[in-house]
Structure 1
Amino acid sequence: MIENWLFIAAMLAVLLIPGPTNALLANSAYQQGFGKTFTLVPAELLGYLYGISIWALLVHLSLPIWPMLIDLLHLASALYVFWLAFHLWKTSHLESHGLSRKALTPSQLFISTLKNPKTILFAAGIFPVETWDSFAHYFLVMGIFSLCLIPCAVFWMYWGRKVLAGNMKGIRADQWYKGSALFLVLCMLPVVVRFF
């Protein structure tokens, strides 16, 4: 059984940090409304499930041939987290995202999520190694992932819509990004320590 449940905090941190999928959800909620955007969340979930499973399969198949791949992916994941935290500290692109997209389709959100580097981070760095040992562990971790994804997506639809509409008084997007960067680094520290 999975003994270390700290991966849930890291999973929430990664899902909450600003990224392309979250910006698309925020913009869609602003353009199309909350209800219509909420119907797109299953496409995001499928994109993550497919992306994570594909990366996990690639890692599993390549381990007998190249055992160092998992260590390289762990290192790349840690470097990506710190690069992302640094990038978040310096950016506030959600406010400029504005009206660039009119209508978001499920296939656009699915493809954007499938190509998201967060899928590699989940497959090789955040999910426990036991996830891939049995179907029971896989479905347990993916169920927890699904339960974490839905409130994070709802948060981005609500908060992003308010930011894009200019309704946030006292909180600017750059402050949110700086807080996200600190939150991400704090929640990823146990995962990074576990690697090394």
Structure 2
Amino acid sequence: MTLLQFTVAILLLLCTPGPTNTLMALGGYLRGWARALPLTAGELGGYLTVIIPVSTVAAPFFTAYPAALLFAKAAAGIWVLFLSYRLWNSERTIGDAGEISLGQVFVTTLLNPKAVIIALVIMPHGGLLELLPWLGLFAALVLLAANGWILFGSVIGRTERFEIKPVLVRRVAAACLVVFAMILTSSSIQSLA
């Protein structure tokens, strides 16, 4: 894979709406861009926690045992449904910046199927030293995409032309998470059939 192909593939995946991006946008909406920036560490940490061991060690394991991949998808679906439930039932106000935590972003990214796709399909496999340049580029792309989602949420939060109620933003985000969980579940069920 060329450098350009790698960059385009990673950016396409990172810019696709999903559970992590939903949390990043909601964090930007609730906190504003500058105060939501620490959430990027949770996203980057979650991705690297999956990608490094899978790309360097576990790729042959997942190829030999596809059921392990189904288990990972099921765990991700359960976590996303849990986050959706919490967002839907949250009664916090817009001034409460503690609603989206670094830990939630980390765990959501850790369970995000995009991480496994990146590790198995896009990231080269090999030793850690061989992967370092690719991991550096990947980290820069994650930070770029995460900032884009945070900025998107922040802009929505500051829109003055029409008022967007925080409860509406949380419920739309919760609905997006449910849809994503349904997609994960249906792909797992189809794999079993």
- Relative to the length of structure 1, the TM-score reads 0.60
Q: Is the aligned partner of 1:16 residue 2:33?
A: no
Q: How does 1:56-95 map to 2 (within 5 A)?
A: 56=55, 57-61=57-61, 66=64
C-alpha distance in 1 between matches for 2:54 and 2:113: 10
Aligned to 2:112: 116
Sort the Cα spacing of 1:100 and 1:46 in 2 relative to 1 into closer, same or farther, 3 A: farther
Give the CA deviation at 1:164. Answer: 5.0
Give the CA deviation at 1:135. Answer: 2.6
Give the CA deviation at 1:166. Answer: 4.7
Identity of aligned residues (%): 26
Instruction: Give, as a single letter, the amino acid of the residue that structure 2 aligns with 1:115.
Output: L
Sort the Cα spacing of 1:143 and 1:166 in 2 relative to 1 into closer, same or farther, 3 A: same
Aligned to 1:156: 149
Do the aligned residues in 2 keep the contact of 1:55 with 1:119 (CA within 8 Å)?
no
Sort the Cα spacing of 1:137 and 1:35 in 2 relative to 1 into closer, same or farther, 3 A: same
**1:87-138 deviations in whole A, cap 9, x for unaligned?**
xxxxxxxxx98x77752221111101100010111011122xxx33233321
Do the aligned residues in 2 keep the contact of 1:50 with 1:114 (CA within 8 Å)?
yes
Instruction: Give, as a single letter, the amino acid of the residue that structure 2 aligns with 1:147.
Output: A
Aligned to 1:46: 45
Do the aligned residues in 2 keep the contact of 1:11 with 1:126 (CA within 8 Å)?
yes
Aligned to 2:101: 105
Runs of 5+ unmatched residues, structure 2: 71-86, 163-193
Q: Which piece of structure 1 moves more, 109-118 or 157-166?
A: 157-166
Runs of 5+ unmatched residues, structure 1: 77-95, 170-196
Give the CA deviation at 1:139. Answer: 0.8
Do the aligned residues in 1 keep the contact of 2:44 with 2:139 (CA within 8 Å)?
yes
Give the CA deviation at 1:156. Answer: 0.6
Do the aligned residues in 2 keep the contact of 1:52 with 1:119 (CA within 8 Å)?
yes
Do the aligned residues in 2 keep the contact of 1:21 with 1:113 (CA within 8 Å)?
yes
Give the CA deviation at 1:7. Answer: 1.6
* Cα-Cα RMSD: 3.4
Instruction: Give, as a single letter, the amino acid of the residue that structure 2 aligns with 1:105.
Output: S
- Relative to the length of structure 2, the TM-score reads 0.60
Q: Which piece of structure 1 moves more, 115-124 or 134-143?
A: 134-143
**1:7-39 deviations in whole A, cap 9, x for unaligned?**
210100100111111111111111112112101
Do the aligned residues in 1 keep the contact of 2:47 with 2:110 (CA within 8 Å)?
yes
